[in-house]
Amino acid sequence: MEYFSSRATVRTFDPARHIAEETLREIVEKAAHAPNTGNMQLYSVVSTRDRGMKAKVSKLHYDQPAAKGADVLLTVCADTRRFDAWCEARDAQSGLNNFGGRLSAVVDASIFAQQIVTIAEMTGIGCCYLGTAMYNADDFCELLHLPEGVIPVVGIAMGYPLHEEAKGSDRLPPDAILHEETYSDYTPADIDRIYKEKESLPESEGFIKENSKSTLAQVYADIRYPAELNKAVGEKMLRQMKAGE
Amino acid sequence: MEYFSSRATVRTFDPARHIAEETLREIVEKAAHAPNTGNMQLYSVVSTRDRGMKAKVSKLHYDQPAAKGADVLLTVCADTRRFDAWCEARDAQSGLNNFGGRLSAVVDASIFAQQIVTIAEMTGIGCCYLGTAMYNADDFCELLHLPEGVIPVVGIAMGYPLHEEAKGSDRLPPDAILHEETYSDYTPADIDRIYKEKESLPESEGFIKENSKSTLAQVYADIRYPAELNKAVGEKMLRQMKAGE
């Protein structure tokens, strides 16, 4: 149980050590025992090992170091296609070709991805989620030959860690996340208390200076996750999630 | 590692054993170390222990036995509200009030929910996901006082198992899920092979008979997850995910 509090994302991988195909297959097999919607398993994963393909996938992740240096890149997809193909072959009319069905598949894919990460990390493999899979969803579909109903949700960069990573990572206190009986909306005093530790980290001051901002929240809101970016990603994803509706 | 392949959903809970508040808090604290979008932790969880509230939450889950008999009910929510409140208090303009931001929050909430389930199950607590949280998203918002930007994604029924559950659960073979380098779309022959085991389970025949259908796929497509249901759930969720856009 110690693992859960001390885990940390790994972004630098040992180029001399490789994840065996059999190891990856075992991780996927174990991860598929995670709960999912009605046991329809509305997810798939595409693995990238080929050197040329890795360069292309990494490029779609903006060549961030974790992607560029990964031993294996995974693209975990929401997948209603396999269920649809089953229905087609069995005289049934799939009801998942719509936003609601695709949203269940996004949840399934996320749960499945997290099970892969947990199992991999417990086995000593380092992982880094790549949220950029959604940013370039259309290009991923083209590159990985994803048919309609198969939508990239998250990428995972994997490999054996090059060096011991700093353990743990800063998180909001549990009472910031857990609401008992009903949701208590956050007052400015709550916000001060909840974000105090995060805002007082030495790196936070660095981020503010680097970006010529006056608060850490501005770094997130203006630089890292601005509205235009989220809106553009949302439009792309929504189009795919509604396909065939 | 044995746990991952042998885990099973628990739907019957011991009414005499209770999950201590401290235990739940520890699970949430550990689970919050799961990866998330840019360390914004775009999720919250509302716990339900109060007898009267449990009856109301269970009703919104259609009083399915796992919900009705749960010791604690959790509603795991996609949450951009906390981040927004932080931005409001720090002279920043949140960019997450749109479908794209909410979709990242749905992924974060799903990953966080799965980390809760893994930790709880490893501690001997039984869990059952309740996908019905999305079906009645609006009613959950009202009952649990969820403000705009806080969207129920999954429920989790928790408690100590009343009896030893059958271990494991049927899943598609790993090569049905893992695609190497590019996605290979499913041929009718693939479908026959992949679904063979599932279709030959004794309970599958029972489901077909009970529902007067001719294939198992029809049971799923016509009875359990029909298009009208998914479309209605999708509309509800989409409205919430776009709120304030």
pLDDT digit string, tens, across residues B59-114: 999 999 999 999 999 999 999 999 999 999 999 999 999 999 999 999 999 999 99
Q: Do A110 and B115 touch (CB under 8 A)?
A: no
Q: By CA distance, what is A33's nearest residue in B?
A: B5
Mean pLDDT of chain B: 96
- pLDDT 10s digit of each residue in chain A, 245 long? 899 999 999 999 999 999 999 999 999 999 999 999 999 999 999 999 999 999 999 999 999 999 999 999 999 999 999 999 999 999 999 999 999 999 999 999 999 999 999 999 999 999 999 999 999 999 999 999 999 999 999 999 999 999 877 677 899 999 999 999 999 999 999 999 999 999 999 999 999 999 999 999 999 999 999 999 999 999 999 999 999 98
Alpha helices in chain B (DSSP H): 2-6, 21-31, 51-60, 65-68, 81-89, 99-122, 132-135, 137-143, 188-199, 202-210, 216-218, 227-242
Of A122, A186, A221, the CB nearest to B1: A122
pLDDT digit string, tens, across residues B120-158: 999 999 999 999 999 999 999 999 999 999 999 999 999
A116 vs B216: CA distance, rounded Å? 29
Tokens encoding B150: 């806080």
Mutating which of A51, A53, A93, A110 best tests the B interface, going by the most B Cβ atoms within 10 A? Answer: A110
Q: By CA distance, what is B85's nearest residue in A?
A: A186
Which residue in A198, A19, A87 sits closest to B199, CA to CA?
A: A87
B221-228 contact pairs (CB < 8 A, 24+): B221/A87, B221/A92, B221/A93, B221/A94, B221/A95, B222/A92, B222/A93, B224/A38, B225/A37, B225/A38, B225/A40, B225/A95, B225/A96, B225/A101, B226/A95, B227/A93, B227/A94, B227/A95, B227/A96, B227/A97, B227/A98, B228/A95
ipTM above 0.95, yes or no: yes
Sheet holding B178-180, edge to edge: A126-130, A150-159, A72-79, A43-48, B178-180
SS3 assignment for A107-125? HHHHHHHHHHHHHHHHCCC
Q: By CA distance, what is B99's nearest residue in A?
A: A234
DSSP letters of A72-137? Answer: EEEEEEEE-HHHHHHHHHTT---S-SSHHHHHHHHHHHHHHHHHHHHHHHHTT-EEEEETHHHHTH
- Flag whether pLDDT at B165 surpasses 80: no
